[in-house]
Structure 1
Amino acid sequence: MRALLVVNPSATTTSARTRDVLVHALASDLKLEVATTEYRGHARDLARRAAESGTTELVVALGGDGTVNEVVNGLLHEGPDPERLPRLAVVPGGSTNVFARALGLPNDVVEATGALLDALRDGSERTVGLGLAGGTPGTEDEGVPERWFTFCAGFGFDAGVIGRVEQQRERGKRSTPALYARQVMRQFVGETHRRRGTITLERPDEEPLENLVMSIICNTAPWTYLNNRPVYASPQASFDTALDVLGFTRLSTTAAGRYATQLLMSTPERGPRGKHTVSLHDQTRFTLHSQVPLPFQMDGDHLGVRTSVTFTGVRRALRVIV
């Protein structure tokens, strides 16, 4: 099998030695080409060329969720076609690795490599659904290119937290639960639309849902991890369905504390709940509009601010080795 290994040399939890071990292990079973990313978006370009070549059967992403997101967007540049496109494999090398862990893969490079080799020998794979987000016709964001995401997107509060974390990481801070906790508090203190939200959710043939303070869009569960603890924003979300949405219409100090506790205590059977929550399951298409520009993120990557985003849940979009 002809394969491309896309390596992010800046991945948080990998070293040159572990990369060498991975390359050696994969090369023993595959006709392997190795490419190291050199700039933001490089993994996307490499995966796109692999998809267009017609000869690459597998693309392996070594890195965090951002690297995986770029690879997925490169593979699906011309749209989903699971039977034609190369399959995707993931070796987690980031700080959180939500997509890989949601697939049931080990969160250790060596163990994940062993699991990958076993899956390849057994022919074990699954076809997963993905999320697609883009600009909304008739709005100032109309020309924003569509982009795929693997596990989540966020519009509002959580995206603002991610933006703050990215700023801290650019200053040399390590990505840790403590860093996220500090940025959550700073975002909360600086939030100006906590009591009456600016977001409206619109769906075909449904009444709009108004005054959302924030919205989390999930393509799978868990939503994220705090070290080894899974956090479930939308416990029903699945790679086998379309998209789930969790929204809040109020984030007063009391409400925010209650929902934060519910998230920390969430389980595969129960997520946040209450009179100020909005929870939707298996949504194929919807649009979020905001009266003011709000931060936006996909797969943990802060993408600036938007006033409108249209989401589509695409079932059976890509084959993944598991």
Structure 2
Amino acid sequence: MKYQFIVNPKARSGRGARVWEDLKQILENDGIDFEARCTEYAGQAEEFAAEMTADGEEHLIVALGGDGTVNEVINGILDCSKVVFGYIPTGSGNDFTRALKIPTDPQKAWESIRRRAQERKMDLGVIECGEKQYRFAVSAGIGFDAAVCHQVNRSKLKKILNKVGLGKLTYLGVALNQMIREPICTSEILIDGKQKKRFERTFFAAVMNHPYEGGGFRFCPDARIDDGLLDVIVISGISKWKILFCLPTAFKGKHTKFRGIDLFQCREAAIHFEKAAPIHTDGENVEIEQEMGAHLLPVQIRVIVP
């Protein structure tokens, strides 16, 4: 099967382009059958994935970029059950790699893909905002965490830290800044269409397919990528100073013992915020709304893992 690469050369302040040039040389020297398309603007990876899978046949698609590139590709694939997906990380967050144990070294990631050592089935999430739908691989959220993603994506600091290999620190710095600035409100969540939960002074609610988001925060430690369930985290009803204290503990998943942090599992969730708030999928801002529904696709995608 031909390798079909979708490359984001701008990932991690241009690191994607450098990695791709090195990998392309290896592919050509080894006589690998491949085609490659390099993105030039946001959303083009989604367009490429849709074009590649329009024939309804089986495909082996490899994304080279960051978590945002993965998000665009999985949103473009027309039938995820007919795709084997490989990933070569060149971004700064790399949350997609963690649960799947994909090497963050691009050359090692490629060797895993080339060997086709294992294929692991993975759930994909979907959120609804009004009449629009967006898929996610890692997580989706409304409120504080989406506001963090929005600021990180525009941050000059991220570009600077990326150049010295410390890009993930951007998320922590922005999170601390947003914690002080971001407004809070009442929220309600309807779980599996049956149970309704109300949360006062809500900072954010996130639905997760992977344990990690935001550059390594292990917000939902028990999340599994193939269990057919969404893991939900809600932070509410506690002071901002307490959150500032417990936020660093989330890197190790130790935040769950604090009061005001609720976690639960479900097959679908309908989230309502009293005020409109930013919404993200896999760290990419998509909407500013009061309502966000979430469920899983009925089919899984196969991901190449070591």
TM-score by length of 1: 0.84
The answer to whether the 8 Å contact 1:101/1:107 transfers is: no
Equivalent position SS for 2:35: strand
Which shifted more, 25-34 or 153-162? 25-34
The answer to whether the 8 Å contact 1:50/1:56 transfers is: no
1:134 aligned to 2:138? no
1:20 aligned to 2:21? yes
One-letter amino acid of the structure 2 residue matched with residue 199 of structure 1: S
Who is 2:53 aligned against? 51
Equivalent position SS for 1:187: helix
The answer to whether the 8 Å contact 2:157/2:170 transfers is: no
Structure-2 separation of matches of 1:40 and 1:294: 22
Who is 1:138 aligned against? none
One-letter amino acid of the structure 1 residue matched with residue 244 of structure 2: G
1:274 aligned to 2:258? yes
Question: Deviations along 1:93-118, whole A, 9 cap, x unmatched?
Answer: 11122112321111011111112112
Structure-2 separation of matches of 1:55 and 1:30: 20
1:222 aligned to 2:212? yes
Structure-1 separation of matches of 2:169 and 2:93: 14
Gaps of 5+ in 2: none
Who is 2:40 aligned against? 38
Q: C-alpha displacement at 1:271, in angstroms?
A: 4.5
Gaps of 5+ in 1: 136-141
Equivalent position SS for 1:43: helix
Who is 2:174 aligned against? 183
Equivalent position SS for 2:155: helix
Q: C-alpha displacement at 1:15, in angstroms?
A: 5.2
Residue pairs, 1:94-109, within 5 angstroms = 94-109=91-106
The answer to whether the 8 Å contact 1:3/1:56 transfers is: no
Q: C-alpha displacement at 1:150, in angstroms?
A: 0.5
Q: C-alpha displacement at 1:173, in angstroms?
A: 4.7
- Equivalent residue pairs, number: 296
The answer to whether the 8 Å contact 2:272/2:291 transfers is: yes
1:114 aligned to 2:138? no
Structure-2 separation of matches of 1:23 and 1:220: 30
Identity of aligned residues (%): 26
One-letter amino acid of the structure 1 residue matched with residue 122 of structure 2: V
One-letter amino acid of the structure 1 residue matched with residue 218 of structure 2: Y
Structure-2 separation of matches of 1:115 and 1:157: 36
Structure-1 separation of matches of 2:239 and 2:206: 18
Question: Deviations along 1:221-256, whole A, 9 cap, x unmatched?
Answer: 23354xxxx431111101112210111122413421
Seen in structure 2, the aligned counterparts of structure 1 residues 100 and 275 have a Cα distance that, compared at 3 Å, is: closer
Structure-2 separation of matches of 1:261 and 1:171: 19
Structure-1 separation of matches of 2:39 and 2:58: 18
The answer to whether the 8 Å contact 2:152/2:158 transfers is: no
RMSD: 2.3
Structure-1 separation of matches of 2:270 and 2:141: 13
Structure-2 separation of matches of 1:96 and 1:254: 25
One-letter amino acid of the structure 2 residue matched with residue 106 of structure 1: P
Equivalent position SS for 2:256: coil
The answer to whether the 8 Å contact 1:240/1:315 transfers is: no
Structure-2 separation of matches of 1:280 and 1:190: 27
Question: Deviations along 1:46-92, whole A, 9 cap, x unmatched?
Answer: 111111124562111000011111111111x4x54x1xx22111111
Structure-2 separation of matches of 1:202 and 1:51: 35
Equivalent position SS for 1:275: coil
Who is 1:244 aligned against? 231
One-letter amino acid of the structure 1 residue matched with residue 137 of structure 2: T
One-letter amino acid of the structure 2 residue matched with residue 214 of structure 1: F
1:125 aligned to 2:119? yes
Q: C-alpha displacement at 1:174, in angstroms?
A: 4.2
TM-score by length of 2: 0.88
Residue pairs, 1:282-321, within 5 angstroms = 283-314=266-297, 316-321=299-304
Question: Deviations along 1:158-196, whole A, 9 cap, x unmatched?
Answer: 111111122224995545344333322321222232xxx
Structure-1 separation of matches of 2:303 and 2:158: 35
Who is 1:11 aligned against? 11
Q: C-alpha displacement at 1:125, in angstroms?
A: 0.7
Seen in structure 2, the aligned counterparts of structure 1 residues 91 and 29 have a Cα distance that, compared at 3 Å, is: farther
Structure-2 separation of matches of 1:29 and 1:148: 35
- Indicate the structure with greater helix content: 2
Who is 2:187 aligned against? 199
